Structure 1
Amino acid sequence: MAPAGLRQCLRDVSPYLVLLMAVSTLGPLQFGLHLAELNAPQDVISCRVTHSISSRVSAVFSSRASTPPADAPMTSSTLPDCIPMDEAQFAVVSSMFTLGGLVGALGSGPVASKKGRLLAMRLTSVFFVIGSIVETLGASITMMSFGRVFSGVGAGAATVIVPIYISEVAPPRERGTFGAMTQVSINVGILITQTLGYFLSHGSAWRWALGAGIIVSAIQGLGLLAVPESPAWLATNKNAAQAKRILQRIRGRHHDIAEETATWDPDAVAPEEEALLDDNSTTVVDSSSRRSSTTSRASSKNAAPLGFIQVVRDPQYRPAIVAVVGVMCAQQLCGINSIIMYSVSLLRDLLPMSSALLTIMISAINLITTLACSPLPDKLGRKACLLLSIFGQGASALALALSILFEAKILSAVAVLFFVAFFAVGLGPVPFILASELVGQEAVGATQSCCLAASYIATFLVAQFFPIINAKLNKRFGGAGWVYFIFTALAVLSGLFVIWRVPETKGKKDADDVWGRPRRRD
């Protein structure tokens, strides 16, 4: 069965589709890049130490620094080597990224629905460029915060738009697998920035790590010139001919797209063509066909893009909104970003190896596990993967809390690795897939905005308050690791929520099939 499935997947994937995936996922990659970019160089950026890399690498850089070029004094006087910050100030700079992400998530859905996925993705590359430049040249807390906000807007928009675009260009049989590519690219970005931070955490070299975002966003902007608009969006907006041409190019010249286009063909017919069809149908169809035609026209009207407020207030979409918002909150409140954003400072004195090096290992395992588990949502189901991920993370958080508390350093390292690995099983990729499967085409942009907005609010809470709560709990009870008991409890609550409120979408044709309801009629 596995070889047959693999052969089918290879038949469905054209080189052009690979190009579209590679370019479009540069947006989520930059989300990961900016999310974790301050982790490894935190102590250097905030002037606590002059370097935080291994002594061997530090010695190499120190020897080079002993004979600086002639223009070095001007460089160091123009941009400071570090920006003095305490824990609270650094948390503010770090969490500004999530506030920008909230703005980007809320604003990008309506733009993508009304103006198209392609224009929205191109706008994200502009925000990424601006944010990366401002961060790289930042000389104060205020300037760094502004740069983080701009980067956050791009990231928030990218994590809304790209999963939608991928779900609309991916082959229907492999939509879950391709949907996981959003999380894979985020993990690639995290691994890149953690590795750069490990080697560039000294002097002002950390600015080069932040400057990597400029290069990636420039490549994204150029690559998007070769990316077409989503066929599904074009079909919904009455451009059937162009939609079919693009879909045929994506699938390959000899691929039969008839079955795939059948679901949106009625919505893609221009008004004048619809009139001709109506005239013709009156002489050749029976009463049951007329009822089907009426339903199709009603469905066509319902396919018009809906705004954020419309979707939130409509009772039909309320169960989907509750489900995707709950899952996105669970993704963050189970504690993954306590590791991604603060692992270097958190694990500095707890583990028998360099915490920065362990962070690179964590990022690599996150990426490898996400890749390995990407077929699971299509095989086990979305809900099963979520539950396995949540309860696995909860158990790992409990083990981490106890191992830190009792200073079992090897167990702490193992618990951290399992914590990240279980995240990759379901909580990482599945939430990005659900929004496009729980609602119809007319509401997917607003729903994705809603769930990503919830994600960024939850991420902000973790980014802003995790260091503070962690310090207070450790001071109050003595020792360390107490905060992971909270994450264990949140994992239990998240699992119960998924059991009660999140439906399975594997094998369902559309949102009506998921919720077991007839199609809406006017």
Structure 2
Amino acid sequence: MSTSLADRVRDVSFYLVLVVFIATLGPLQFGYHLAELNAPEDVITCRTSKLNRVRSLFFFSRQPGDEHPSWLSRCIPMTEIAFATVSSIFTLGGLIGALSAGPVSSKRGRLVAMRLTALCYLTGSVTETLASGIVAMAAGRLITGLGAGASTVIVPLYISEVAPPAERGFFGAMTQVSINVGILATQTFGYLLSSEYMWRWVFFIGLALSAAQGVGLLVVPESPAWLAAHGKGAVARRTLQRIRGRHFDISAEAASWDKDNDGEAAAGGEDDDAAEEEESRLLGQPTTEPVAASTGPANPPRRQRTHLGFFEVVRDPRCRPAIVACVGIMVAQQLCGINSIVMYSVSLLADLLPFSSAILTIAVSFVNLAMTLACSPLPDRIGRKRCLLISIVGQGTSAFVLALSIVLEAKVLSAVAVVFFVAFFAVGLGPVPFIMASELVGQEAVGATQSWCLASNYTATFIVVQFFPLVNKWLNEWLGGAGGWVYFVFAGFAACSAVFVSWKVPETLGRKDVDEVWGRTRRID
């Protein structure tokens, strides 16, 4: 283990760490905005204006009645349905952002796309900070959702293209780590700032994060893989060398772009033939074979395009199984119920625990972050599929125990079940789905596949966020008792998800290419 850690440290440059840190500010803001309404819900919706005594000790806490701008409302009256709509519209924006991100990042580059997400975050955060009505708040949530959806498509893809090949699982987990940092931050700030007017600082902090991301992206380079795919081989090599470090040997990585290259990449796309040859090598077509050849073991040449579109990738029989697998695990990530805790835990658990549900929410967010960090090496050690199965079975079991403990009013057991519910999510369902698309399809289909994955993820998230409070209330009224019946439903979804992953999701660890992942020979279908 020590040798592995030493190798990891040696292969990672400071510049790579900086690039990954700046890139993951996008997913961090996704987590931040996803949970930003949880803790201050009662204050924002005018249900209460009371200030917790512990929070009143902090210098930034003000008492009701302090002077504030007259054009800022102290709260925004909302019904339960209106609040659920404002919460879930974030995921609608995420769906639109996810669908748009793939084509934009493929045509214009990963860097341009990330800068657009920073602009969405900035605009949305300003709107939320100044909102005085439901429509303005919903508009701000929609715009930040656009940035969030795009970020969760682009950033995992970008990280997989700049990270060392042997450590892509580890660096890929940083997407989920950053999301959890954002959730922990917003839960903490929401708890401390839940008073009249002060809840607006939660959104202002999001504004500051988006500004920091925008500035940081000025020093982030374009993805070397994207540059190589667009005929800029020389620039791609220079960029990769800068990311890896001056003395690092990049020849093995560059060979994945330009196998059997005898120096033509140095031309950097000076003419169309060199650009086409570079693209062909990137997509797996050996340069020593005639382009017109249609027989033999090679994949069909795709020199005429650098990427498959959103609908093209579904029609491609070699990509379709990957779409099914990726969409399935993305839907499973949400239908197992994680966002019922992330977005509604404070109000959901308020009367079910022997202590403050807001404190438990912060503790759970911390556990989620710690477990994600601790488990980040696991996908590269025991495999992606095994991590997913451990996560799903563990989360399903925890959901069942949570439901039972709430029904029986075993408050301490409920708190323990919530902690394990979130901890098991961090083992696999949290980080693994974000890295699977780049390993199940070729470079030409990654962008569109990521868009399909995140579109399905945001659709499932919207369903959970919009209808969870209503279904929970309906089940509680129908079946009676202390509530918690909805977690039996989540346990059932987990059981179905475990069957799906066992049946439809292949293992990618240790596979050298997409064809080996799917156990097929390199041929024309």
Given the two structures, how large is their TM-score scaled by the length of structure 1?
0.93
Task: Indicate which of 216, 225, 248 corresponds to 1:232.
Answer: 225
Deviations 1:43-101 (A, max 9, x none): 111111113x6333247689953784xxx25x1x2111111111101000000100000
- Give the equivalent residue in structure 1 for 2:35: 36
Q: Which residue among 166, 181, 184 is the counterpart of 1:173?
A: 166
1:57 aligns with 2:59: no
Distance in 1, matches of 2:34 and 2:197, equals 20
Q: CA deviation at 1:343?
A: 0.2
**Residue 378 (structure 2) pairs with residue 364 (structure 1):** no
Measure how far apart 1:519 and its partner are. Answer: 3.4
2:390 is aligned with what amino acid? L
Deviation (angstroms), 1:277:
12
| Structure 1: distance between partners of 2:287 and 2:209 | 55
Match of 1:187 in 2: 180
Cα-to-partner distance string for 1:88-139 (whole Å, 9 max, x where unaligned): 0100000010000000000010000111000000000000000001011111
Aligned residue number for residue 347 of structure 2 = 345
Alignment of structure 1 residues 71-90 onto 2, 5 Å: 72-73=67-68, 75=69, 77-90=70-83
Cα distance change on mapping 1:503 and 1:62 into 2, 3 Å: closer
Alpha carbons of structure 1 residues 302 and 481: separation in structure 2 relative to 1, 3 Å = farther
2:53, 2:60 → 1: CA distance?
A: 10
Alpha carbons 1:302, 1:442 under 8 Å: kept: no
Instruction: Identify if the C-alpha distance between structure 1 residues 173 and 410 changes in structure 2 by more than 3 Å, giving closer, same or farther.
Output: same
**Match in the other structure for 1:513:** 516
The answer for the alignment partner of 2:95 in structure 1 is 102
Aligned mates of 2:178, 2:313 — CA distance in 1 = 29
TM-score by length of 2: 0.92
Of 207, 212, 223, the residue aligned with 2:205 is 212
Pick aligned residue for 2:316 from 314, 317, 321: 314
Distance 1:366 1:36, change over 3 A: same
Q: Distance in 1 between matches of 2:43 and 2:452?
A: 36
Aligned residues: 507
- Change in 2 beyond 3 A, CA 1:368/1:63: closer
Report deviation, 1:313: 1.7
Q: Partners in 1 of 2:310 and 2:289 — Cα distance? A: 33
1:480-522 CA distance string (max 9 Å, x none): 1000000000000000000000000001122122112233559
The one-letter code sitting in structure 2 at the alignment partner of 1:370 is T
Q: Displacement of 1:444 after TM fit?
A: 0.3
Q: 1:401 to 1:155 in 2, by over 3 A?
A: same
Q: Is the 8 A contact 2:55 2:193 kept in 1?
A: no
Matched, 1:161 2:160: no
Aligned to 2:145: 152
SS in 1 for 2:444: coil
Query: Are the counterparts in 2 of residues 236 and 303 from structure 1 also a CA contact under 8 Å?
Result: no
Change (3 A) 1:445 1:263: same
- Contact 1:24/1:224 (<8 A) preserved: yes
Deviation per residue, 1:324-350 (Å, 9 max, x gap):
000000000000000000000000000
- Which region of structure 1 is more displaced relative to structure 2, 310-319 or 177-186? 310-319
Q: Relative to 1, partners in 2 of residues 1:298 and 1:20: Cα closer, same or farther, differing over 3 Å?
A: same
For residue 261 of structure 1, report the CA deviation from its aligned partner.
1.0
Are 1:48 and 2:50 matched, yes or no? Answer: no
How far the C-alpha of 1:353 sits from its partner, in A, is 1.0
Give the direction of change, closer, same or farther, for the CA distance of 1:482–1:67 in structure 2 (3 Å limit). Answer: closer
Native 8 Å contact 2:231 2:275 kept in 1: no
User: 2:147, 2:499 → 1: CA distance?
Assistant: 33
Specify whether residues 518 and 272 from structure 1 end up closer, same or farther in structure 2 by C-alpha distance, changes over 3 A only: farther
In structure 2, distance between residues paired with 1:29 and 1:383: 25
Identity %: 62
Report the equivalent of 1:412. 414
Residue matched to 2:104: 111
Checking the alignment, whether the CA contact within 8 Å between 1:299 and 1:520 is kept in structure 2 is no
Name the SS of the counterpart of 1:341 in structure 2.
helix
Q: What one-letter code is carried by the residue in structure 2 that aligns with 1:108?
A: A
- Alpha-carbon spacing, 1:160–1:60, altered in 2? closer, same or farther (3 Å): closer
1:129 aligned to 122, 129, 146, which one? Answer: 122
Counterpart position of 1:252:
245
Q: Name the SS for the 2:226 alignment partner.
A: helix
The verdict on how the C-alpha distance between 1:123 and 1:8 changes in structure 2, with shifts beyond 3 A counting, is same
- Whether the 8 Å CA contact 1:198–1:356 is kept in 2: the answer is yes
Contact 1:396 1:415 in 2 (8 A): yes
Amino acid at match of 1:362: V
In structure 1, how many angstroms separate the alpha carbons of the residues matched to 2:115 and 2:29?
14
- Structure 1: gaps spanning 5 or more residues: 279-286
Matches within 5 A, 1:430-469: 430-469=432-471
Amino acid at match of 2:245: G
Name the counterpart of 1:485. 488
Task: Tell me, in whole angstroms, the C-alpha distance in 1 between the residues paired with 2:122 and 2:387.
Answer: 35
Counterpart pick for 1:143 among 136, 139, 147:
136
Going from structure 1 to structure 2, the CA distance change for 1:290 and 1:66 (only over 3 Å counts) comes to closer
Q: Which amino acid aligns with 2:346?
A: V
Q: Which residue of 1 aligns with 2:20?
A: 21
More helix by share: 1
| Distance verdict in 2 for CA 1:245–1:43, change over 3 Å | same
Runs of at least 5 residues in structure 2 that lack an aligned partner in the other structure:
278-285
CA contact (8 A) 1:303 1:441 kept: no
Distance, in Å, in 2 between the alignment partners of 1:86 and 1:174 is 47
1:122-172 Cα shifts (integer Å, max 9, x gaps): 000000000001011111111100000000000000000000000000001
